[in-house]
Structure 1
Amino acid sequence: MTDDLHNFLVKEGPQLSGSVALGLASWLGITPAAARKKIERRSAEVRALTIPFARRARFLYAASQYGSDRFWAQLAHAFEEGNGAYSRVIRALKARGGLMPMVHLASAAGISGGPRQIPFERVWQNLVDIGLFETIEVPGLGQCFAFAKNAPYLDELLPPIRARLIAETVLLQSVQEWAAKLGLGSFNSFKLRGGLAAARPIVSVFEWDMTAPSYISALATWNKSGRPKPGFIVLDVLLKDEVDLNDLSPFIYKCRSLRQVRGVRTMQFFVAHRYTLEALDAIRREGVVPATTESLFGTDVARALMELSATLTQAATQAVEPEKFTQLFEKLGKIEGAAGTLRGALFEFVIADVMRRTVAGANITMNKIYRQDGKDVAEVDVRVVVPGQQIRFIECKGLLPGRLLSDSDVEAWLNKRIPTVRSQTLDNPEFRNLALTFELWLTGELSPEADAKIKAMQASVDPKRYAIKVLLAPEIEDTVRDLPDLRKVITQHFLRHPLAASDEVINPVSKRQISQTAAIFADLTPSGSSPSDIEANQTAA
């Protein structure tokens, strides 16, 4: 027997039940009432989401369509008709590879905590409850929000997502310095995503990727007594090959909503590598500055940001020419803040390359995640498996020379990651009889307390069970002694203090930052205002 409803959905795509009834009636030449009867008596091959829509509509789809691009697109469209928050979540998540840190979700999807708005917690919880999405703990990224269908492929998804997040962090630090130099905001008043909850970049009822109060004349207002109230710089970023209109729709929603709030004056920016023509036209009509990495920083830096994502993604699975790391440092390391981000991000990739070139026959895995009871509980930066012989689990900490690794990091490594990883490794028959070594590669220093804890653990461990090793700068340098190209990269960018570099490598504005923070703030903040005044204005907005 022909399943007309199933065939209609396969041909026309998933839809709300009201649209299906009208379309099916026209397709079969029957009355809408007869079409609704077919929907009520649908076969098991036609399914419906449990989440409610307006006027008690149901979202219908053929079982074979679940999770396809067409499924998500049609679902986003259906949500948009009744509740835009769910649609914006789907579009934001698709634009970012299907997984993002939970702390980024409110900004990326344009979910606000304002009146007559669905609370942020309820939005994501409703989507999780219907089984389409899930929250997962990803070591290094924290709690993340993801399409449920992506969970089995997490190891494949993470390298490009991590690479994009690192590149976006470098970009935000670059934009912060650029905006501060122009006087759009005081350097120490900028807030960037990913910080503590109390320091999140919020203006009015929305979160953004970067904000700053601004006293430029186009944004600031003065009351009758001459006391100033700042406007705000608000900015979002998305570094993918090309940003389209669907990717931009949550940001445009935020900008439109913000313009309805009385007493809040903002200058709105979006930064991407490039835009589709449709997206560019739409964002310009909204009065938003459609910045690109090239228009802000020139061709060299724009290309370097694209190369950074590509290099980090490639380095997760295969060797990278050491010159590539040097080029990235030369092009991006001049940006204060970016150098530290690059140092921490690239160190584990460089160490993975060292392993590939010094350990014969080894299988190298980066950012290996270990799960327990379906949850991600530990991550190994670099895992080195020599079949039939040994496994090395390397924790990479690329700190400034002389800087202390926090005692809490050492505690977590010794008492959480090592026991968890060892336990799960011994559960694997393939690895059970191999020698296990847990290593900490550190370009900074250990506190006396942390050093004592490690030595006590080393002394208490039976070497026949496993070993714990720490490699500091001298040992790391000795390891790469016979690899001239890698030794140059490690020595120059990880083992030598950046203050020993020439002036052209360290941005002169940034060198003055610590000593002149008060002066910069005084220059940009009118008399009578203080940091607490700015906070009060931002909260009121």
Structure 2
Amino acid sequence: MTFLEKLIKDKGLILSGEILEILTSKEKGISKEAARKRLSRIGESIYRVRGLFADGQILFHDKDIFGTEEYYDGLHRALKKAGKQYYTIIQSLDFHNGYIKSDHLAAYAVNPVEKLKGHLTFETTLRNLLKIGLVHLEDEHVVVSNSISKNSHSLKRAKGLEVAKNFLLMQFNDWSRKIGLVSYNSSKFHSEFGKYQFNFVAPSYVGSLTKKTSDSIVPAFVIADILIGNVINENQVNFFINKISALKQQRGLAKFIPFLIVDSIDTKALNNLKSKGAVIGFADELFGENYKELLNSLINLITNAGAILKKKPEAYLDLISKLNKLVDGKTNNLRGDLFELAVGYYQGRICSSIDIGKLINHSGERREIDVFGLQPNRVLISECKGYNHPISKEEIEVWLGEKVPVIRKWVLDNATISDKELVFQFWSTGGFTQEALELLEKRIESTKKYTIEYFDLDKMLEISKKINSKKFTEILREYYIKEI
């Protein structure tokens, strides 16, 4: 065994830059070029990880530790040291309980979403992480691998954070245009500015920020990202600071005001952001002293929806009421996000147990069940869409072809429920197109192994009356019917 092979085996995983430093300090007079040649001659018992690290560095490791806990711990350290663009994505996913929507993740990375000289695009960076299995895709989310993650995963809490962030975005949009900071009806969510993605982008015509040309006024821009749900430390704001620094280096870019909206942040992170010219928007200070508590209640309700809706259904109603009072009745933006909770509230009245956002796995195929309800002789599997537009035939085809079969197989393999009648339901506040209705009716008639049911708002009101649920009727009328 050569000195280099023994060094790598002893270290577990080590970057080529570190090896070169050790070699040149151990053997006086050896040049870096000579040391690199020696590295290139290392035998097949040593594996190499290429293409992820700064300055073209290679990560070396003994092949026997590949895939072990030692391997992933060493890879995590190496990315933190020399793979910032990859480490940032993993750290952002960790902060968000392991899950971020695919079209939202770029805002929490340091990579541009459009080509920029000297930078890997976000698309390329994500593709590289997918290739080596450090992240994977699940429906609409990017998910960090348990092997590389330092925190526990929770899709339910991640969805709670998504809903709370969506709510904050709407409120920030409302606040910024009311005070004249941004132009009305011009804001974009999860959009691009200066080739980077932000949660919020809007033009501003505040006089001191705009540029005047001979024939037009060039606006400035308000850009914002949101970090909530955990105490934020200085490492977790680096994605935002790096994006701001990259924008400042671009010639000819419009002026901009960068906001980071938070609910809790430590002193070091706060001071670091301020020193870089960022505006820190605390939720309580922007929108009212009870706002942080409201967000936490919203996140908690979605995280623990099944238990809360079954044991304390009034908590759901109380939260809707608080949202309504705090934001002057503007809960329509939450309609889609909270619709499965409304269905869960109904199912809680007729089922012995319910689960919201249940994640199942059958033979490696994962599916999410919006509302899972158990009755003495039936299993209810509900798909919930709180849209203001009708469900298309194509959406029904995807549900029937990709979701229903996997969930049915999972139920049949579960001895505790396999003997119950299986009912698949599709709930849509926006109704269904004629083509979708025709397909549903055709499948209802031809399917014998399970039952298919569908509900538009009229049918929802009918079934609500049958069980005499005034509260469910009230929810539908107050938060869905009058908004559509």
TM range (shorter): 0.7 to 0.9
Work out the CA distance in 2 between the residues paired with 1:7 and 1:420: 44
Work out the CA distance in 2 between the residues paired with 1:433 and 1:328: 37
1:451-472 deviation line (CA, Å, top 9, x unaligned): 444333323333xx22222342
Work out the CA distance in 2 between the residues paired with 1:6 and 1:479: 71
Larger RCO, structures 1/2 (Cα 8 Å, 6+ apart): 1
Residues 99-118 of structure 1 mapped to structure 2, 5 A cutoff:
99-112=99-112, 113-118=115-120
Q: 1:211 to 1:58 in 2, by over 3 A?
A: same
**SS of residue matched to 1:149:** coil
How many residues get paired?
Answer: 460
Could you tell me which residue of structure 2 aligns to residue 495 of structure 1? 477
AA partner of residue 264 (structure 2): R
Work out the CA distance in 2 between the residues paired with 1:209 and 1:337: 24
Could you tell me which residue of structure 1 aligns to residue 381 of structure 2? 393
Work out the CA distance in 2 between the residues paired with 1:427 and 1:116: 52
Q: Is the 8 A contact 2:220 2:255 kept in 1?
A: yes
Q: Is the 8 A contact 2:335 2:480 kept in 1?
A: no
**SS of residue matched to 1:224:** coil
Could you tell me which residue of structure 2 aligns to residue 514 of structure 1? none
Q: Is the 8 A contact 1:244 1:278 kept in 2?
A: yes
Q: 1:309 to 1:373 in 2, by over 3 A?
A: same
AA partner of residue 438 (structure 1): F
Residues 415-494 of structure 1 mapped to structure 2, 5 A cutoff:
415-426=401-412, 431-462=417-448, 465-471=449-455, 472-478=459-465, 480-481=467-468, 487-488=470-471, 490-494=472-476
Could you tell me which residue of structure 1 aligns to residue 243 of structure 2? 254
1:297-324 deviation line (CA, Å, top 9, x unaligned): 0122222112111111111455462332
Could you tell me which residue of structure 1 aligns to residue 312 of structure 2? 321
Q: Is the 8 A contact 1:380 1:395 kept in 2?
A: yes
1:319-339 deviation line (CA, Å, top 9, x unaligned): 462332233223334648962
- Report the Cα offset of residue 184 of structure 1: 1.7
Q: Is the 8 A contact 2:390 2:428 kept in 1?
A: no
Residues 168-179 of structure 1 mapped to structure 2, 5 A cutoff:
168-179=165-176
- Report the Cα offset of residue 440 of structure 1: 2.9
- Report the Cα offset of residue 238 of structure 1: 1.5
- Report the Cα offset of residue 239 of structure 1: 1.4
1:163-219 deviation line (CA, Å, top 9, x unaligned): 1111111111111111111112223210002xxxxxxx2112111111011111132
Question: 231, 236, 254: which one pairs with 1:242?
Answer: 231
Q: What TM-score results when the alignment is normalised by the length of structure 2?
A: 0.81
- Report the Cα offset of residue 24 of structure 1: 10
Q: 1:257 to 1:444 in 2, by over 3 A?
A: closer
Q: 1:496 to 1:404 in 2, by over 3 A?
A: farther
**SS of residue matched to 1:261:** coil
Q: 1:20 to 1:309 in 2, by over 3 A?
A: farther
**SS of residue matched to 1:184:** coil
Could you tell me which residue of structure 2 aligns to residue 65 of structure 1? 70
**SS of residue matched to 1:187:** coil
Q: 1:469 to 1:60 in 2, by over 3 A?
A: same
Q: 1:302 to 1:52 in 2, by over 3 A?
A: closer
- Report the Cα offset of residue 159 of structure 1: 0.7
Q: 1:448 to 1:128 in 2, by over 3 A?
A: closer
Q: What TM-score results when the alignment is normalised by the length of structure 1?
A: 0.73
Q: Is the 8 A contact 1:391 1:435 kept in 2?
A: yes
1:476-527 deviation line (CA, Å, top 9, x unaligned): 413552x6xxx42x233323367979xxxxxxxxxxxxxxxxxxxxxxxxxx
AA partner of residue 470 (structure 1): Y
- Report the Cα offset of residue 103 of structure 1: 1.5
- The answer to whether residue 144 in structure 2 is matched with residue 146 in structure 1 is yes
**Unpaired runs of at least 5, structure 1:** 194-200, 502-541
Work out the CA distance in 1 between the residues paired with 2:111 and 2:304: 34
- Report the Cα offset of residue 162 of structure 1: 1.0
Could you tell me which residue of structure 2 aligns to residue 163 of structure 1? 160
Work out the CA distance in 2 between the residues paired with 1:258 and 1:353: 46
